[in-house]
Amino acid sequence: MTQRALEIAADVRARKRSAVDVTREALIGIERANASLNAFHHVFVDEALKQGTRIDALVAQGLDPGPLAGVPFAAKSNFAIGGHTTIAGSRARLGIPAAIRDADAIARLKRAGAVLVGTTHMDELACGATGENPHFGPVRNPHDVDRMTGGSSGGSAAAVAARCVPLALGSDTNGSIRAPAALCGVWSVKPTFGKLPRQGVLAYASSLDCIGGFANDVQDLAALYSGLDGKASDERDSRLRVGILSGYFETYASQQAWDAVLETASLIGPHELIDMSEDDMRLGCGAATIVSNVEVATAHAGLLDAAEDTVSPRLRTRLLAGALTPAAWYARALDYRRRFRASMVRLFADFDVVLAPCTPLAAPRFSDATIAFRNHELEPAKHLGMLTQPVSFAGLPVVTAPVLRDGHMPFGVQIIGAPLDEAACFAAARRIEQGLTHTSRTSIES
C-alpha cells in the first residue's frame, strides 16, 4: 500500500476510491507480506470489510466519515478489540474471555473513519526488546528478514515499514515504540506519560506505559496522533532551540547511530551538545528496571502459577524478580524517578527539543548473541533499549525520525520535548523530514 493515509482519506471522501477497495488492497498486501515477516497475529477480514462498507455508505449519504476515512490501520495485540481475546503475545492468555469493547484508542480511530484490519505480534506481554516471541515466533525486519525489528511493538513497526498499512498503534514502556521504529525505519510518536488514554490496553508497568504509533511520514503521524488526542496538533513555526544529548548517549551509540543524530540536528538549525552523566543515566535505567519489574509482576502475578509451557523462562524470571523486590527498593526507585524527571525537565529551560539516538546500533541479526562497537560488547536483548529507557523514565514526549541510506539498515533519532510539548517534537520532525527529502533528491540528481 503505497498511498499515504491522508491521501487515502481524501480520495475516499471525494469518492475517487471506495473504502472497501482500499481495505481489500490492504488485506491482500498483509497476506503477501506476513508469510515472510510474521507481523500480524490476527487479520479481521470480514469485520474490516464491514467497516469499509459503513464508511462508503456515509460518503454516499453526503456525510463526512472523519479525517481518516477508509484508512487501514493495525494495532498491537495488547489493545482490546471487542469480540476478540487480548493475547498480548502470551500463550497463557489464549483461553481468556473475549474483550467486551474496543480499547479507547481503537474506538477513537474508528470514529475518525479508520478501518482496523488486524492485530500485530509483540514480545510476550511486552516484556522484551527484540521482537522475538517464544510462542508465536519472531517478527522479521522488512529491510532484511534475518534481522530483528526490536520490541515490543515490532509487529506494528514492521507492518508500517512493509507498507501493509499506513498507520499502526503500539505501546511504549521503556522504548517499545521507539526502538522498533528506529530499526524498521519508520516515524513514531510516544507522547508525554499520561497524555493519551490507556483504557483497554493491557498493562505492563502502569506508571511508565504510554500508547502511540507509527507512520511512514510526519503528516500521517500527526494525523494519527490527532485522532488519538481528539484535537489537531498545535503548529510551531518559531525558531527551535536544539540540544543534543551527548556523554552517555554518545558513548553507547555506534558511530553510524551518532552520525544520524548529528545529521538530523543540522537539518533543524544551530545546536549545542549537552553532556549527560553516565552515572545518572545508568541510575535512571536501574531504577526504571526496578519499577518495571515490580509493576509487571503485580499486574500479572497469576502467571507465576500458570502451566510451565505457557510462560517463557525469561518472562517467569522477570515476574519472580519483581515479586521478590523489597517494597523499600520500589519506593526508593519511585522517589529517584521524581528527582530524575526534574533534572531532565530542566533541560528545556534552554532548549525546545533535544535529540538522542534511539538505539546503540542498527537492527541486529537474530544470530547475533552480542555486537561489538566502540570497545563495547552488547547483548541485543539487554541493551537495545538503553538509550530510550531514561527518556521514558522522565515521562517525556518523543517523535522518532528514521534515517535511511541506500545499502544500509535504518537508524532512528529521538526528538524529545518538554512535558506536554508534543508540538515542538512535530515541528522539529517536519524540518528533519524536509531536509532528508531534499538531501535524498539532491543525491539522486547528482
Active site residues: 76, 152, 176
How do 376-378 and 371-373 pair as beta strands? antiparallel
Q: Rounded to an integer, what distance in angstroms lies between the CA atom of residue 173 and that of residue 171?
A: 7
Q: For residue 62, count other CB atoms closer than 10 A to its CB.
A: 6
The DSSP result for 150-187, as a single string, is -SSSHHHHHHHHTTS-SEEEEEESSSTTHHHHHHHT-E
Q: Rounded to an integer, what distance in angstroms lies between the CA atom of residue 84 and that of residue 206?
A: 23
Contacts of 412 (CB under 8 A, 6+ apart): 178, 179, 181, 182, 183, 185, 260, 357, 358, 359, 400, 401, 402, 403
Q: Rounded to an integer, what distance in angstroms lies between the CA atom of residue 22 and that of residue 12?
A: 9
In a 3-state reduction of DSSP, which class is residue 81? Answer: coil
Return the exposure string of 357-374: e unless at least 16 CB atoms fall within 10 Å of the residue's CB, then b.
Answer: bbbbbbbbebebeebeee
Residue 292: closest CA among 154, 153, 175, 137:
175
Contact indicator for 377, 370 with CB cutoff of 8 Å: yes
Task: Give one word for 125, left, alpha or beta, with left for phi > 0 and alpha for psi -120 to 50.
Answer: left
Q: Rounded to an integer, what distance in angstroms lies between the CA atom of residue 290 and that of residue 329?
A: 8
Rg (CA), the chain: 21
Q: Using a CB cutoff of 8 Å and minimum separation of 24, what contacts does 365-371 make?
A: 365/146, 365/147, 365/148, 366/132, 366/138, 366/146, 366/147, 366/148, 367/146
- E-assigned strand segments in 358-441: 371-373, 376-378, 398-403, 411-417
Contacts of 143 (CB under 8 A, 6+ apart): 161, 184, 185, 363, 409, 410
Contact indicator for 170, 180 with CB cutoff of 8 Å: yes
Contact indicator for 425, 189 with CB cutoff of 8 Å: yes
